[in-house]
Amino acid sequence: MGNHPQSSLSPERIEAIIVAAGRGTRLGGKTTKSMKLLGGKPLFAHAVETFQKISDISGIIVVVGLEEVEVARHWIQKLQYSKVVAVVPGGKERSDSVQEGLKVVAPNTRWIAIHDGARPFVTSDLISRVLSTARACGAAIPVLPIIDTIKEVLDNEIITTIPRKQLYGAQTPQVFDRQRLLEAYQKAKEKKYIATDDAEVVQHFTSGSIAIVPGEENNFKITTPADWERAEDLWKRNSIQQNEDT
């Protein structure tokens, strides 16, 4: 672990960065979110496992908190995630953690997929669709349309209602051309620009469009105790379904 395989020299090499360095304070508990066990495995491992199965993915970089690096390496070895090429400590903000991951991307990588480790139910189908769209368009992210009515509020008073027809919630994985992504994050670092997702950084600092693909309802991000309960219920249902199928 830590050395990129040298066999792949394809200009289409794809690497994935799994960002799992958040403390998860809103989730509560003594265990950090990425190491909290879901179905007997740490939360971050579920996303890694799905990316491991994608044949187009050549390497996986896992970004966790400094104190979780060795624990994460232990689990990766135990679960035999052979595509993981590096486990690195993250930074204070999500964007800092992404930049730490970018530092160890293989230089011959053509595309980079960035995924939240707190989205354990990402599917192979979604990853493949985002990758395919990015290859065709240069960059792509999964989104879901906003179904709630959105209000702009100031000092506990409604200012206006925002039309939701053009509003979408962004998910991950988000896939970008390597050079474009590196350029965007370098400029963001220089400007001390903090964003909540990668598409915002890329759109703000580079030219070119970002395509969207339909996201998935179960590809939600675990943030609160209610999210964790939803995840446990979904894990149980999926496990029952898999047992019935076999």
What CATH number does residue 192 fall under?
3.90.550.10
For residue 246, is it within any domain? Answer: no
Q: Who contacts 96 (Cβ-Cβ below 8 Å, separation ≥6)?
A: 90
Which of residues 19 and 9 earns the better pLDDT score?
A: 19
What mean pLDDT comes out for the span 38-66? Answer: 97
- d(CA 68, CA 75) in angstroms, rounded, equals 11
Both structure tokens of 229: 């309960």
Interhelix angle for 94-102 vs 178-191, to 10°?
130
For residue 162, is it within any domain? Answer: yes
Q: How many helices (H) and strands (E) does the chain have?
A: 7, 12
CB of 90 within 8 A of CB of 65?
Answer: yes
For residue 9, is it within any domain? Answer: no
Per-residue pLDDT at 9: 37
Per-residue pLDDT at 11: 54
For residue 208, is it within any domain? Answer: yes
User: Quick check: 44 pLDDT over 60?
Assistant: yes
For residue 3, is it within any domain? Answer: no
**Is pTM beyond 0.85 here?**
yes
Per-residue pLDDT at 244: 77
For residue 8, is it within any domain? Answer: no
**Mean pLDDT of the chain, nearest integer:** 92
For residue 210, is it within any domain? Answer: yes
Residue 26 domain boundaries: 14-236
For residue 22, is it within any domain? Answer: yes
Give the total number of structural domains in the chain. 1
